[in-house]
Structure 1
Amino acid sequence: MCNGESSRPSFGGTIAVLFPRETPNFNASPQQSLSSSPSSVASYASSSLSMSSYSLFFRDTDTDRKTKAVFRMDDTDTYQTLRGCRQVDMRIEKYGDLTTSAPATPPLHQFQLDMSQDQSQSRGSQTEMEFELPERLDLGVSEKGIVGRQVTVREAGGAVLGVGVVGYN
C-alpha cells in the first residue's frame, strides 16, 4: 500500500498499532520476543488471552495547544480491559526497537491517563477512548518527534497492555 495507494482514508496525525503482551499466567519460552517481522508480531499478539491489538492515534487540532490521544478498539473485551485499568502509563520511548522489553533510558515522553476521564463514546462496532495530553507533541520525524518511536501502554504499576511503533496515519 505504498505510493499513496490505499482504500483506507487518511485521518491525519499519527498512529501506533499496539499489540498486547502475554498475560502473566501464560508460559512463554525466553526465545519468544517481539521482533519486527509480521509473522512474529501476529503470533505474539495472538497469544494474549483477553485483549486484541488496538490502535492509538495522536492528533493535534488548530484550536488547542495540546495533543489528543485516541485509543480505537474493534472489540469490547479490549475496551473493557483498558477501561477497567483506571490508570495507565503511556511511554513514548527515544527509540523504536520492539525487541527490548525493559528500557534502561528515560522515555522521550511519559503520561498518566485516567481511563475514567474518557472524552469520547462507543461508535458501532468500534470503540474509542479519547484523552487530552498535557502538552502538544511533535507529530513528525525530528529530535523531539514521535514518528518511529516505541509506545508502551501499561497498567499503572503493573502489566504491559500494548506495545507498538508510531507511524504516519
Structure 2
Amino acid sequence: MCHGHSSRMSEGGAIAILRGQGRQSGALFNAKITLKNSDEGIPTQATFLFEKSNKFPSLGACALVIHQDGNLNYEDTNQMPLHHIPFDLCNQQACEICEISLPARLDLGVGGQGVIGRKMTLMNSRQVIAEGIIGWN
C-alpha cells in the first residue's frame, strides 16, 4: 500500500480493524468497522462486520470511543475522548453484519476533528471489548 502500489481498490471513507480479548471470558473478538459520509448534512454511516468466536460477548448497548491520540499502548484516563458515541448494536448473537447511522457526522479526515490515525475503542458496559486505529479505506 505504500508508495501508491496496492491491488486493493479504495472504497472511500475510513476503516478500523478492532481486535480484543475478553478479560473474563477469554473470547477473541475481531471487527471491521467502516465509516462513510454520503450527502452533506447526513450522519456518518457505520458498518460493523464481526468475526465471532464460540464465546462471543453479547453486545446490545455499546459505545464507540474515538480517542485524541492513536497510541494503543497507553491509556490516559484523564483525557476526554474526541468522540463518545453510544448506540444499540445487535441484540442477537447471530448478527454478524450490522449497519447503523451514527448520531452525528464525523470528520473522516486528518487533524483537527478528523478521525484518521486515532484509536477507536468498542465498549460494552464500561468494559473494553476491542481496539484499533482508524485509517483510510
**CA–CA separation in structure 2 for the residues paired with 1:85 and 1:137:** 23
Q: Which amino acid counterpart does residue 134 of structure 2 have in structure 1?
A: V
Which range moves more in the overlay, 96-105 or 7-16? 96-105
Q: CA deviation at 1:61?
A: 1.0
Q: CA deviation at 1:100?
A: 1.4
For the aligned residues, what is the CA RMSD?
2.6
Q: CA deviation at 1:12?
A: 0.5
Pick the aligned partner of 1:151 from 120, 124, 133. Answer: 120
Query: Gaps (5+ residues) in structure 1?
Result: 26-48
What secondary structure is seen at the aligned counterpart in 2 of 1:3? helix
Greater fraction of residues in strand = 2
State whether residues 21 and 163 of structure 1, in contact with CA within 8 Å, keep that contact through their aligned partners in structure 2.
Answer: no
What secondary structure is seen at the aligned counterpart in 1 of 2:20? coil
Greater fraction of residues in helix = 1
Deviations 1:63-83 (A, max 9, x none): 76100111112x3438x836x
Partner residue, 1:105? 79
Q: Residues 55 and 134 (structure 1 numbering): CA distance in 2 closer, same or farther, change over 3 Å?
A: same
What secondary structure is seen at the aligned counterpart in 2 of 1:154? strand
Partner residue, 2:129? 161
The reply to whether residue 72 of structure 1 matches residue 49 of structure 2 is yes
Partner residue, 1:50? 27
Deviations 1:85-131 (A, max 9, x none): 2111110011111111353211111111101489xxx7xxxx32111
> Radius of gyration: which is bigger?
1
Partner residue, 1:33? none
The reply to whether residue 20 of structure 1 matches residue 27 of structure 2 is no
Q: Residues 72 and 146 (structure 1 numbering): CA distance in 2 closer, same or farther, change over 3 Å?
A: same
Q: CA deviation at 1:156?
A: 2.2
State whether residues 117 and 131 of structure 1, in contact with CA within 8 Å, keep that contact through their aligned partners in structure 2.
Answer: no
Q: CA deviation at 1:9?
A: 2.3
Deviations 1:4-35 (A, max 9, x none): 3222222110011111144236xxxxxxxxxx
Q: How many residues align?
A: 136
